[in-house]
Structure 1
């Protein structure tokens, strides 16, 4: 089963596999970010076919129920070497997620390629980890995890899913990978979600490479301040290429009231 199916040109039906961790009646936002990436890539066909995405910046404006929702895409800035595209998801005309994507014309820089960012161990050198031991929801059940935890708020790990992003429609390796980006916030948790909620209100990824393998690697650090703010920072890895980009997620950290057990949060908007 796919995470989404297309109802018409701009309306989509989520499957139960999109079920979230903070609120079981709402979608985990990760697959929706992958869908938005796919829509941006699909929009460029015939206009900028050879462009590559260099940055994806998502603002999460509120929760997305497991119900049909709408999508829109429009070109903000056209260009011969650089384009800016904006895409959004809405539910009953209420904006839920907005994406601004920079698309860049590629050049041959093989002779200049390199990064000082260290590689993490390959997936087969890490142990399988059951994410459902910490997180609820149907979406997390669809993810295979191999992880090497170093300390609270620090972990290296690999993720993959065998579920299709969109039913009966091919998507790129980048769009499939983008459907996993948001999982970073839960894989190196500083504290149990029974002690505090810490949803991210945004996610920005800067890429200098392209994910190609089934496994997507993460080298993640989670930091909480003393004022309710938090940050999850990740270096992204491709299994063959090594580091390919970085992710930042701004968190709103909220201690769970004593005796509280229901991990349901209000909209971050």
Structure 2
């Protein structure tokens, strides 16, 4: 595929076109939702920077996935749900054909110098150079999975540490911040250490919530991931997020588990 970005901007009013680079993984005629989540994070940051100049940072992103998206044109908008001098709650939305498909609520908070007390009890994982390459297209189809470069150490089905990067930009010809750059890959976690063969059991996620105590930096994004299936059709993918400095936050995805 020749596309070097997951999305192209169509205008300044929040319209974008998805490229074939983000097709799959449950169906290749639909978007893999991961880049869409990154695009909504970018839209929130753009709106923030247009409204204020004090550099509020995003500490929590909570996406609800309301439905599927075609590989085509999408629309986005942003609204401030709770304005404030030091804390804001902002919502962005992605729709297609007049139907809402993804909602993001993000908490923005005033930054400060806390280097003297910084630290975490979350365990680090081996760096990307310490893990073996793994080909995710052996499990999943689609342009998005094909664009991902993986290094993984799997302990058992549903339990692994892995690193992912992609040379495909979020937006064609438009710079994005470190958070949106990383967020375009967050949703890959649910498929990188499967408990069951996805040809036999479907387990799409309905949401994704990330809590961050540091903004991601660099191209490699690390995951320490565990997948759980309950006995009533529910599941959970839980991850600790890393960049090459160490842990930066946590992430969870609720699953609807459907044996075929």
> Same fold, TM exceeding 0.5?
yes
1:149 aligns with 2:154: yes
For 2:139, the equivalent position in structure 1 comes to 134
**Secondary structure of the structure 2 residue equivalent to 1:3:** strand
1: CA distance between counterparts of 2:37 and 2:155?
Answer: 28
**Structure 1 residue ranges without an equivalent (≥5):** 257-269
The answer on 1:175 being equivalent to 2:217 is no
Shift in Å, 1:188? 1.5
RMSD over aligned CA atoms reads 0.8
Shift of the alpha carbon at 1:89? 0.3
Residue in 1 that maps onto 2:248:
244
**Corresponding position of 1:93:** 98
Q: Does 1:189 align with 2:204?
A: no
Please state how far the C-alpha of 1:48 moved relative to its aligned partner: 3.5
Q: What is the aligned partner in structure 2 of residue 264 from structure 1?
A: none
Alignment of 1:10-89 (within 5 A): 10-49=14-53, 50-89=55-94
Structure 1 runs (4+) deviating above 2 angstroms are 46-49
Number of matched pairs? 255
More strand per residue: 2
Shift in Å at residue 47 of structure 1? 3.0
Which secondary structure state, in structure 2, belongs to the residue aligned with residue 144 of structure 1? strand
- Give the whole-Å Cα distance in 1 for the aligned partners of 2:24 and 2:41: 19
**Structure 2 residues not aligned, in runs of 5+:** none
Query: Structure 2 length as normaliser, TM-score?
Result: 0.97
Indicate the residue corresponding to 2:9 in structure 1: 6
Q: How does 1:196-215 map to 2 (within 5 A)?
A: 196-215=201-220
* Helix, strand or coil at the partner of 2:179: helix
Tell me the TM-score normalised to structure 1 length.
0.93
